[in-house]
Amino acid sequence: MRSRLVMAGAVLAMLTSGCAHAQSRADAGPGPIAVYGNTTTFEIAPVFVAAESYYPGVATVKMGSVTNLVGEASVPGYGSEGVADVATNAETQALRYSLRNPDMRIIMTVTEGLYRIVAKRSSGINKLADLKGKKIATISVTSSGYFTQKMLKTVGLTSDDVTMVGMRLPDMPKALADGAVDAVAIWEPEVERAAQAIGSDVIEFTGKGVYRELFNLNTIAPNLADPEKRRKIVTFVRAIIDAAAEVREKPARAQELVSEHSKYPLDLVKQSWSHHAFIANWTGDLLDVMVEEEAWLARQDKRTPRTRAQLATLIDTSVLEEAMAMKPLPRRK
C-alpha cells in the first residue's frame, strides 16, 4: 500500500512539474526573433513599430532581404550577415529567389507601395506616350523595373522603346535635374526628391490601377514546421497587425523610425508618406500579380514560367489567420 502511495505521489509530482514547466515557457514569451529587410524603405515602417512597441520579446531588425532566409549572396549594400526568421521584400524578389528555394513562403502583405513616374516637361513629355525614345532612371531587375514596363504597356510601348538607365538611388534626382535622364521611376522617397529637384518642370504619371508594389513578410517552410519558431512568427505577425493600425492612425513614431534608419530628413519622409498603404493583410490579388510577374521574370531569364498552381504553394495564409485570431498585443512603450 505504501509503495503505491509513493508511486502515486511521484507521478503527481511529475505531472505538476510538467505543468509548471509548460506554464513557465508560456510566461516566458515567444523568444527573440531575427527580422531582415531593406531598412531604408518606407514600406518597412510597421515592422519597425512592431519590433519596438508590440512584439513581447526581443525583435532585431537588420538590413537584409529574403536572401537572409535562404543563405544566398545578398544584393550589394543590402547586408549579408545573419540568418532570418522572417524577411521583407517586394514580391519581385520573392519570385526571383523562390525559383531556387521553393520552401520560401509569403505570409503577409505588410505595405502597398504606390509607385509613380516623374518626368520633365522640358524634355517634351506631356503624356505617358511621350516617354518613347527617352531615358528613364530605374532599376530594371526590381519591382520598379516591372512597374515601368507595365506603365509603358498602357500606351502601347515596351522597354525597347525607351532607354532604361541604372544608377544609384541617390543619384537619380540630380541626373533628372541635369538632363542625364528624362524621367525617374523608382520607390519613394527618390521620386519625391526627383520631383522637388525639377520644381515646376515636373509632370507625374500615377501607377494607380496599373501596378503597386506588394511589400511582403516572408519566411521558409521549415520555420513554420518548427513549433517554437512558428509561435514567434505568428506573434510577430500579430505585432505587425497592431503596429500597422497605429501607423495608419498616428504615423508620427513610424515616420521618426523610418527617418532614423534611412537617414532621410523627417520632412522628406512626411512628404512621401501618402504614397504607401500600410495594410498588414492580404490584398486579394497577390497570386494574380505573381502569375503575371513570373511571366515577365521568365522572359528575362529565358526559362519556362512556373504555373499558377506552383506559385500558389509560395503563399501560406495560415500564419495570418492564426495571428488574427489572437487578441491584440498591448503597446509596450
- Whether residue 234 is contained in a domain is answered as yes
**In a shared domain, residues 120 and 107:** no
Range of the structural domain that residue 134 is part of:
116-206
Confidence at residue 141, expressed as pLDDT on a 0 to 100 scale: 85
What is the sign of the dihedral through the CA atoms of 150, 152, 155 and 161? negative
Same domain for 229 and 170: no
**Count of CB atoms situated within 10 Å of the CB of 240:** 30
**Domain annotation covers residue 15:** no
Is position 7 within any domain?
no
Using pLDDT thresholds of 50, 70 and 90, give the confidence band for residue 29.
Answer: confident
197 shares a domain with 253: no
Query: Which triple of cell numbers denotes residue 329?
Result: 498585443
Q: Which of 51-60, 73-82, 167-176, 245-254 has the lowest mean pLDDT?
A: 73-82
**What are the angstrom distances between the C-alpha of 252 and each of 60, 114, 323?**
21, 20, 25
Q: How large a percentage of the chain has pLDDT more than 90?
A: 85
pLDDT tens sequence across 139-181: 988 889 999 999 999 999 999 999 999 999 899 999 999 999 9
Lookup: cell for 303: 526559362
Within this chain, do residues 292 and 145 fall inside the same structural domain, yes or no? no
Rounded Cα–Cα distance for residues 164 and 106 (Å): 29
pLDDT (mean) for 85-107: 96
Q: Dihedral of CA 223/34/235/215: which sign?
A: negative
- pTM for the whole structure: 0.86
Assess whether 217 and 310 both reside in one domain: yes
- Label residue 192 exposed, middle or buried (CB < 10 Å: 0-12, 13-18, 19+): buried
- Picking from 206, 238, 259, the residue at the C-terminal end of a domain is 206
Residue 46 — left, alpha, or beta (φ > 0 → left; ψ -120 to 50 → alpha)?
A: alpha
Question: What average pLDDT score do residues 69-88 get?
Answer: 75
Contact yes or no for 100/162 (Cβ under 8 A): no
- In terms of domains, do 99 and 217 share one? yes
Query: Does 220 lie in the same domain as 148?
Result: no
Residue 313 and residue 228 share a domain: yes
Considering the domain architecture, whether residues 311 and 264 belong to the same structural domain is answered as yes
SS3 content of the chain, % helix, strand, coil (to 5): 50, 15, 30
Q: C-alpha grid cell for residue 68?
A: 537572409
201-214 average pLDDT score: 95
Q: In this model, does residue 71 exceed pLDDT 90?
A: no
pLDDT value for 21: 44
Percentage above 70 pLDDT, the chain: 89
Instruction: Say how far apart CA 142 and CA 157 lie, in whole Å.
Output: 19
* Structural domain ending residue among the three candidates 156, 183, 206: 206
Whether residue 162 is found in the same domain as residue 188 = yes
Asked if the structure places residue 95 within a domain, the reply is yes
Question: What total number of domains does the chain contain?
Answer: 2
CB neighbour list of residue 233: distance below 8 Å, 6 or more residues apart: 33, 85, 86, 107, 219, 223, 224, 319
Burial of 221 (0-12, 13-18, 19+ CB in 10 A): middle
How confident is residue 5, by pLDDT bands cut at 50, 70 and 90? very low
Q: Which of 154, 185, 206 is the last residue of a domain?
A: 206
User: Which CATH number does the domain housing residue 287 bear?
Assistant: 3.40.190.10
Residue 28: predicted pLDDT: 63
172 part of a folded domain:
yes
